[in-house]
Structure 1
């Protein structure tokens, strides 16, 4: 826990907001849980905007892209800064700067969530009070766990029919395994939701219904019919945080009173540990609970100093740590690229150490080049504000830096270190794309190249056999948005082929493979000979390559080319030419020729050895399986289950929530095309669904021949 510190003379003269009073947070959740609406209320209550924007009206501040406003969804993460001052607790009366990133909820844009969480210090996970934890909520939660992000939970939409705060809280415990405890309780639900009970102060806040903005509320005593419930949940809250604070534990066991500030500090310590989640009910749309959420962000989520130093490697691959300190050399991570119509290429940058001045030079260890930062900006959605200096803990945008990709470290040249970049899922769908006219060819190439730089999950390749351009992404909507952006931003009309699934291949047994590349054509020939052993790995383990050569049967300089050949061969398997995953190759033997051996010959030997071994290792074809959740009125349950079964779906379970039935299933991605239309037809438009990538599974033998024939006609690969 970091106590409130007075600014040091050095800091106070140069920083508007000291590090202790800075919060970098993200708002993340399942699609349509209310993230953008929640962000919009924060901006209104903090004074950044003076009129509340609405998603359904297409004027939300952080949904600034035309495609976002038309569809009513968030597509790209938007960064925005605001100030917040609490009236209670250890930070009372102190201005805090809160940098917020509003992330997309749709599974097709999960990369935006991934890279945002990589650079954030804390997060607010939003759930709905009706559905509770949904499939994409689970994905986002796992991403937060992956990057060790402390978090609060906001149970939104308490005004909706069927809302139940405690039931939604229980789904967090059951489905996420979260140590979740209420910081507030709801007063009423559905149309009777009128306020919150503060379990720290043990008072109630009742909103003034005559003030639709939600600014006015009265602090009153806890309603008599909820006082027992409030005492029970406060006791449970104290018991939960006592595991993280010895002083609280001793007082709790001895029955002593615990003050508000003591409890707040204990909740903060527990939250920063990532092993506790405070939960707050509210209704962003009806303007209730958002102020309490923001007070909790200041009180409980960490500042950059509360977290462990960022880990990286120096040029010799020795581990290094980077901690927030304005006086040291600058180091930070480029986590997002964006093309701005007015200023060109924007590089979103998190400063982890040092301070960065406009006009200074940053070194990129990946390219071994230095580049000048011509301008520095703080982003406010699609607006921007020029600044002269960015300090440790800041999130800013750089202009003038050219040769950068997502995940690059940019630092002072004397440091020459690399911070751990975010990781991204592989594309699951691809299609061919062609310009409508020959005149559009060059514009399309430029547009696609820029879009692929911005989006790490958007793949771009060329098919050598057909000459077609192949684009790959996370789903139909993802590729549809790409085509739409080509048209609007780059003025390119393009037609797309039929979507192709990104299948994978793997092996189910072990085998040995021999590869020989021998060419004699007069003069110096070519000679390479490699023997490998291949074995299968568990799902998700990827590819492992090991050199087991002893006695110099293959000279050291030819080992790497041989392994490179194996990696290259794994890009196209022996069944239908799809990438091979989850296997281990050991290079065990081989031979060489004093004159004729070369790197190229051993690379070819590696390719031949891999193909030989894979054919003998019982290869199988894998297809992407989606986790699908369908919400439907009970009367349509039978028809929808039957339809999922026809799509080779495996029903995992059903759950009734009021009059709604939730169907969980695993369904092959190939059979989900057009599902939205069929589902609405079967349910008279009353059902809804969401899906998220789950895993790869074996394709039934009866379907393999058809897939092989399709891939040979249009060999699109991801």
Structure 2
């Protein structure tokens, strides 16, 4: 970050290797879709010497987006690890998807990293930058994760680095705008006829040097002519910002007294402030021109990562407990300490099988080690632990991913990351520890998937493969949830949004060879009686030999919501023998479970057995079961049977500008707003109750309505009567043999 001579420290064709934890940097790249994260990772890898001048690995692949789905979609859909070497450090670059549907991959990257680069595009609207990245910025701030900002696409027409710096200061530095300041200012070449002015270099505000990349190689020179005077104000503000974060309280007095600030002191204070997470420098970068060895600003960015960002030794690890919840001391960030590691991502390789990306927090992981797997059961809808949790597993090969390759490693030390094959059934979020001392790391928070997708096997041959494929999907991505709905008899895959559902279906068909059909999910309806009524059940058959004879009289009355089905015996005089009263109840309950009007379970009624008749020879358990069912059906024919629909209790968090639109939209979904609360960051939480049939796609619609800025949660509240016109439509569909979602 000061004046230094730089040379390639990596080498294309070999894996970056880690020394002690102090020489490791784990950096996650965060940004909205299209901000240029993947391009930036490739530019950094080229500058570090990990790629050839064509920007390729030796096998011809790129370092990111080498998955077939990513190539087809031209969009990152999964976390990618790209390890490079720079200035004696191993730098693990974690490239995350920008699309909100793949937030699970982003959360995994945050868990594995010790610092974050927020990548924002100068070519996109400022509001898009604000709303899609602010929540992640606040999460990082809450845990004190160091952050820096990289502005991309400055060679696009009508873009301004100064404007983007102001936007970043407003969005990310709302508590302290002077903590979000540029270290370098861009230098542009002549503007072309299309309005584009290529980025050719940088001006270092602290060093007062021009960093010229126009030849494809970085060269330093002093500013010429009067180019420096207009930049003095930006330099003064940067120095003031650094001094404000300095631990040396005498610096401000010296600065205000007109004393010259020593460059080495300023750089050291800057690096310490960045590592503490109290100062967030703004930089810019651009990919290398064809045949060039370095992209603009990539050297400065790598310098910031290696000198300003903390090593794993400086970043507190997550808390650990024993499997029964007893707190244990924090992991010691030492390669010689007992092993504590975590599976931050799980994927499937068509040749190797399941591959786990592991972050080692303490100790050293080696091939053929025996480790204990312990987990929270994050992928289980019922909360139960995976059958592999609590077991000892022998570690397979360790490797470092690079493009489409896996380069072998002989160990993974504390603070480093590695891919592990044949780790049994370990899932994302599982803890690996010494087999003699099982430990469990504190889980990271994952959002609930809110978009349901019902799937079924296309044919008989796909039924077994479907369950296996779905199990692998949810094991790989904890933001997916699998549900076997007992009411609708559908297999439902809950996802974050449409893009994730499309990728899930593509992986089922392509990776796991399962032909599946998607269908709209159905909501679990219920039925109840609208008023008190009576029913007569008569089941009499004489066909020679032993006959069937049973008669019963019942009364049915509605009960308050949540009462279920009550059965009361008020028979007097033995008209229904005692041994057959239970048979009538069984017949009534069986019919109630089947439903009456539209094939949905009957609830919230009391059925009273009043009278009946029996025969000493022909009466039987089966006969009275049938009579009880007939009596309930007859009672339903004499009154109105209401359809009950599930109602969800939702909370919608949106910027204040969208509150009116959201409340109007909820009203159009038959929703009832029950209150609003002011939240932080000029946002409002709208609480409402909405029929579930109206919000099956609400996560998609809300994103569209609020331009990606709104989010919501939902929970079941109760069942309520459905409006008659909708209930009639469902009954008609039932009679016609069609499905209504």
Which TM class, normalised by the smaller chain length?
0.5 to 0.7
Shift in CA distance, 426/645, structure 1 to aligned 2, threshold 3 Å: closer
SS of aligned partner of 2:75: coil
Match status 1:452 vs 2:452: no
> 2:438, 2:259 → 1: CA distance?
54
SS of aligned partner of 1:50: coil
Shift in CA distance, 500/463, structure 1 to aligned 2, threshold 3 Å: closer
| Residues 555-600 of structure 1 deviation map (CA, whole Å, 9 limit, x = unaligned) | xxxxxxxxxxxxxxxxxxxxx99xxxxxxxxxxxxxxxxxxxxxxx
Check whether the contact 2:76–2:96 (CA below 8 A) recurs between aligned residues.
yes
Match status 1:695 vs 2:712: yes
| Residues 350-408 of structure 1 deviation map (CA, whole Å, 9 limit, x = unaligned) | 11111122111111244322111122222224321122211111101222221322211
State the match for 1:329 in structure 2.
Answer: 338
**How far off its partner does 1:182 sit?**
0.7
**How far off its partner does 1:196 sit?**
1.1
State the match for 2:223 in structure 1.
Answer: 222
Check whether the contact 1:371–1:402 (CA below 8 A) recurs between aligned residues.
yes
> 1:500, 1:515 → 2: CA distance?
21
SS of aligned partner of 1:321: coil
Check whether the contact 2:654–2:709 (CA below 8 A) recurs between aligned residues.
yes
1:203 to 204, 209, 224: 209
State the match for 1:259 in structure 2.
Answer: 262
SS of aligned partner of 2:154: coil
Shift in CA distance, 647/372, structure 1 to aligned 2, threshold 3 Å: same
**How far off its partner does 1:281 sit?**
2.0
State the match for 2:409 in structure 1.
Answer: 387
SS of aligned partner of 1:490: coil
Shift in CA distance, 671/119, structure 1 to aligned 2, threshold 3 Å: closer
Match status 1:621 vs 2:648: yes
Match status 1:101 vs 2:94: yes
State the match for 1:276 in structure 2.
Answer: 279
**How far off its partner does 1:38 sit?**
0.4
Check whether the contact 1:264–1:299 (CA below 8 A) recurs between aligned residues.
no
In structure 2, runs of 5+ residues without a counterpart are 1-16, 190-195, 290-294, 376-388, 526-560, 570-577, 580-599, 602-645, 674-683, 687-693
Shift in CA distance, 369/710, structure 1 to aligned 2, threshold 3 Å: farther
> 1:716, 1:147 → 2: CA distance?
46
SS of aligned partner of 1:48: coil
* Equivalent residues in 2 for 1:161-172, closer than 5 Å: 161-172=157-168
State the match for 2:6 in structure 1.
Answer: none
SS of aligned partner of 2:330: strand
* Equivalent residues in 2 for 1:90-489, closer than 5 Å: 95-130=88-123, 131-132=125-126, 133-177=129-173, 179-188=179-188, 190-208=196-214, 211=215, 215-222=216-223, 224=225, 226-247=227-248, 248-284=251-287, 287-314=295-322, 315-366=324-375, 367-489=389-511
**Higher mean C-alpha deviation, range 664-673 or range 60-69:** 664-673
SS of aligned partner of 1:393: coil
**How far off its partner does 1:697 sit?**
8.4
Shift in CA distance, 20/400, structure 1 to aligned 2, threshold 3 Å: same
**How far off its partner does 1:52 sit?**
4.4
**How far off its partner does 1:422 sit?**
1.7
| Residues 75-111 of structure 1 deviation map (CA, whole Å, 9 limit, x = unaligned) | 00111211112xxxxxxxxx21101111000000011
* Equivalent residues in 2 for 1:456-535, closer than 5 Å: 456-498=478-520
SS of aligned partner of 2:229: helix
Check whether the contact 1:135–1:629 (CA below 8 A) recurs between aligned residues.
no
Check whether the contact 1:34–1:284 (CA below 8 A) recurs between aligned residues.
no
> 1:386, 1:254 → 2: CA distance?
57
Check whether the contact 1:244–1:270 (CA below 8 A) recurs between aligned residues.
yes
TM-score (norm 2): 0.66
| Residues 501-528 of structure 1 deviation map (CA, whole Å, 9 limit, x = unaligned) | 999xxxxxxxx99999999999xxxxxx
Check whether the contact 1:40–1:52 (CA below 8 A) recurs between aligned residues.
no
Shift in CA distance, 692/343, structure 1 to aligned 2, threshold 3 Å: farther
> 1:266, 1:149 → 2: CA distance?
18
Check whether the contact 1:141–1:176 (CA below 8 A) recurs between aligned residues.
yes
Check whether the contact 2:341–2:432 (CA below 8 A) recurs between aligned residues.
yes
State the match for 1:47 in structure 2.
Answer: 49
- RMSD between aligned alpha carbons? 4.5
> 2:721, 2:183 → 1: CA distance?
53
**Higher mean C-alpha deviation, range 144-153 or range 404-413:** 144-153
Shift in CA distance, 134/16, structure 1 to aligned 2, threshold 3 Å: closer
Aligned length: 552
Shift in CA distance, 356/483, structure 1 to aligned 2, threshold 3 Å: same
